Each structure stands twice: as structure tokens, then as C-alpha cells.
Structure 1
Amino acid sequence: MRCCLVKWILSSTAPQGSDSSDSELELSTVRHQPEGLDQLQAQTKFTKKELQSLYRGFKNECPTGLVDEDTFKLIYAQFFPQGDATTYAHFLFNAFDADGNGAIHFEDFVVGLSILLRGTVHEKLKWAFNLYDINKDGYITKEEMLAIMKSIYDMMGRHTYPILREDAPAEHVERFFQKMDRNQDGVVTIEEFLETCQKVDENIMSSMQLFENVI
């Protein structure tokens, strides 16, 4: 299943037929000029043709070459109209906004998307850790993880079958911490997070799948 962000981009892609020189020309016409296609291809696991297609869709939706948080929230509202995607979109936006300047550049978008779609398990987990680490201090607290999980349940949990209980996010977080917080200091480090997840614990990986399904 394609992720929401890819569906959003490809739904806006112009008909195929533009050649490489056309796309190179397009790269110089927006207010924020992305890196060249060759450089982006080296930074990601996308082909040049895939980058051209992604860029056409990105430019059609965002002519300035930037996505602000309000636009990002609107994207998620389209895909989860029966839930409230606002908070989750806020957290996800901050994870994509690599330099923290309040806007997602095309480079930020495709680098993150490359990891989520084609990265190794290790790369995906590091990206997920960054999402959960809301204040970017290098640790995940129960409060941070609960905030993320509640935002996911608000966006889709009430419309799943079987219906999820109100206390499900808190129980989910408790299970995470029992397994991840090895030294019982109340926080999870990147090392603890990676070690636990890479042991392929079924409950943990099932939870991670829930996260991947709403990207």
C-alpha cells in the first residue's frame, strides 16, 4: 500500500512526457530551488525518473517549493476525514522539517520518504525514534510516546474494527517501556530503542507497523 504522502504527491503529478531537461528547467523556476537531480539521487534510493515524478507533483501542490505546517495538516485531513489528524500531522511535520525552520523543502521530503519507503530496518527505526523524541533531546519519555500514540488513535483508532478502548494508547506505551527501558530510568535512549526493536519482538514490530501505515 502506498503511503499517504506518496498518494498526495502522485495524485498531483502532471501527465508523463517531460524529459530530463524539462525537469532540470523546472528545478530553477520555484522560489525555493532544490538540489540538482543528480545530487538528490545520490542522497536517496529513488531513480532520476522517480525524482522527476515526485518533483512535478510536489511543485504542482506547492509552487513555492515549500510545504508549511498548515498545508501538511490539510494533506492528512484528506486521508483521514473521519478522524482528527491535526496533532499527528504536527508531529510528523516536525520530523520531516530537518532544519526546524517551519517549512519542508523538497529535499527534506524526498530524503525522509526514501528512508520510510526503501530504507533499512535500522534507518527506519532511527527515523521513528526522531519522531517519538518530540523535544529532540535524545531521549523518549513516556509522555512523548503517549502524545504520539494518542495522536495516531485520534486520527484513526476510533474508526478501526474492533473499536479501540480509550485507555489503549496508555497500555500501548506501558508495554513499550517495559521492554525498551532496560535500565528503568524512565526514558528510552536510541540504543535501547534500536536494540529492542531489532530483536523483532512481535508486539513492538506490530506497533511499528501501525506507525508506518499512517505515514
Structure 2
Amino acid sequence: MSEKKQDPQVSMAASFIAMRGVRIFLNAGKGATEKRTSPTRSRRTKAAVPGNKLQLNVMEILLKNTRFAKNELEALFLMYRRLVAAAQAAAPATVVGQPVPKIEGIDQNTFRDVMHNTFDLVTEDVVLDRVWLTWDRGANGGEGALKFEAWARGLSVILRGNDEERRAHCFAVYDLNGDGYITRDEMFALLKNSLLKQPGDEDPDEGVRDLVELVLKKMDVDKDGKVSVEDYRAAVEQEPLLLEAFGQCLPSKRHSATFLKNLTIKP
């Protein structure tokens, strides 16, 4: 979506919010243990935090498969470790005799917090859930927690991806059933919470259906009633604003730049 020009005071405020998000990310472990059940009813074990140092073979792979430099990957790994440790510490305590659940990676709640607080991805739940589900997990696949390699690859796409990578990311988010098309029903599901409904509307979804038809007219290049990958690419190349037509799934340039600028700052 296009960004509106702001006056200097608004821009400074927005930058402050973005930098605050980065600090939240960098200090993700603070305050994570405040909410607990009674210690007499629970047993906790030491959290299994990822190793202190990024393995050389993983570093070499990510240097080839991402757009991050060595020092940036090291900083990302430090953040990753803190996020995992915070999630493990915040896991609900269990009844005595039951094992404490292990979170081996970035879980969905942590992912949501980072997307909201660090990258200001304020979007509909259905879109954010799809961002989570489509994040490339490599050989592991599935919906489980994100290991560091998957985390770094995903951040590389949303922060420094080229046009094709960004289009592929957005299309995968919008293709709810993964069949290679964005249909009317999928558009409706993505857009139905984005419009304000007026009191007394006989058919509150009518405006959404009208919007779907309008967007479909713009993006359905071959006029077959649905948007294919090729349709989407052609439409976005002609009108870049259509990249996130069905909901925000990429950070703004401002928030991306702020995060990357502070990436190598050690706490």
C-alpha cells in the first residue's frame, strides 16, 4: 500500500515507535516470567535455549541463501535465542509430575508479537495467520515453531527480498487453500473485516462483494474469474499498489530500514 506523506513531528513519532519495537525485539527476554501459577502446584526445569554460537555450517548456508552479512546473522541469532528463551520462560507451569513443554524455536505467539511490535504489521488476523503458516520452514515443513534457519530466510525475504520474492510471499499468503489461485471466496475472506460496516445495513457484506469484484476486474488479466500467479504478477507490475491488495503482509520501508539500521547494535 502507498505511504502517506507525514509532517516532521509525525515522522519522528513513527520512527520512535519503530525503534521502540526494535528494542522490544532485542530485549525480548525481559519480564517474560511475571505471569505464573503458584509454585506449590508446578515444577519447572531449566529451559533448553539454543546454543550460544551460530554453527559454522549454518552460517555458510545462510550467507548463500539470504541477503544478510555475517555480522547481521550473528545479531539475528542473538535475538532468536532471546526470543526462544523468553517463550520458554513464559510457557504455562504444569502440575507436579508433568514435563514442562519445550518450545524449540519461535512459536506463533512470539511471531505475532514481533510482527506487531517490531515491524508494525497491524493487519487482519487471517492475514497474519497466513504469514505464519506460509513462512518457509525448509525441510521441516508443517506449522511448527520456526528454527533459526527458517527465521533468517523469512526475514531476508520480507526485509530485503527482490520484487519476485516479495510477490511470491504475498501471493502465498492470499492463496488460502494453496491451489495456485486467489478466488472470489478467498478475496471475500481476506477483505470482509477490512471495511467498516454501517449500522442499519441490510446486507453488510454487499460492500465487500463489490470491492472483490472491483479488485478482480483489476487483477484477473485472463478473465477466468480468479487470480493466478501470472495474473497477480502482471497486475502488480502494472500497478505496484496491488502488491498488498488483500491485506498488509510486508513491513513498511520505514520499519524495515529502522530494523536493519539497528540490527548489528549489541545490547
TM-score bracket, normalised by the shorter chain, equals 0.5 to 0.7
**TM norm structure 2:** 0.56
Change (3 A) 1:12 1:212: same
Change (3 A) 1:147 1:72: farther
CA contact (8 A) 1:59 1:65 kept: no
Shift of the alpha carbon at 1:76? Answer: 4.9
1:105-138, CA deviations, whole angstroms, 9 ceiling, x for partnerless residues? 2212211211111111121111111111121111
Instruction: Tell me the residue number matched to 1:212.
Output: 250
In 2, Cα distance between the equivalents of 1:123 and 1:74? 24
Alignment of 1:62-211 (within 5 A): 62-63=84-85, 64-76=103-115, 86-98=125-137, 99-150=141-192, 153=194, 170-199=209-238, 201=239, 203-205=241-243, 207=245, 210-211=248-249
DSSP 3-state at the match of 1:103:
coil
Letter of the 1:10 counterpart: L
Instruction: Tell me the residue number matched to 2:63.
Output: 41
Change (3 A) 1:205 1:70: closer
Change (3 A) 1:73 1:115: closer
CA contact (8 A) 1:76 1:85 kept: no
Please say if 1:57 is aligned against 2:79. Answer: yes
In 2, Cα distance between the equivalents of 1:174 and 1:96? 29
Change (3 A) 1:5 1:187: farther
Which has the larger helix fraction? 1
1:42-61, CA deviations, whole angstroms, 9 ceiling, x for partnerless residues? 10000011111111111111
In 2, Cα distance between the equivalents of 1:167 and 1:5? 38
* Structure 1, 118-127 or 205-214: larger mean CA deviation: 205-214
CA contact (8 A) 2:136 2:150 kept: yes
In structure 1, the gaps of 5 or more residues are 15-22, 29-33, 159-164
In 2, Cα distance between the equivalents of 1:128 and 1:183? 20
Change (3 A) 1:86 1:205: closer
Structure with higher RCO (Cα < 8 A, 6+ apart): 2
CA RMSD, 1 decimal: 4.1
Letter of the 2:58 counterpart: G
Please say if 1:10 is aligned against 2:29. Answer: no
1:185-207, CA deviations, whole angstroms, 9 ceiling, x for partnerless residues? 222111111111012x1652574
In structure 2, the gaps of 5 or more residues are 1-14, 31-49, 86-102, 198-203, 257-267
Change (3 A) 1:79 1:183: same
In 2, Cα distance between the equivalents of 1:209 and 1:135? 17
Report sequence identity in percent: 26
In 2, Cα distance between the equivalents of 1:108 and 1:202? 27
In 2, Cα distance between the equivalents of 1:77 and 1:213? 10
In 1, Cα distance between the equivalents of 2:187 and 2:24? 27
Shift of the alpha carbon at 1:10? Answer: 3.5
CA contact (8 A) 1:72 1:89 kept: no
Number of residue pairs matched?
Answer: 191
Letter of the 1:61 counterpart: L
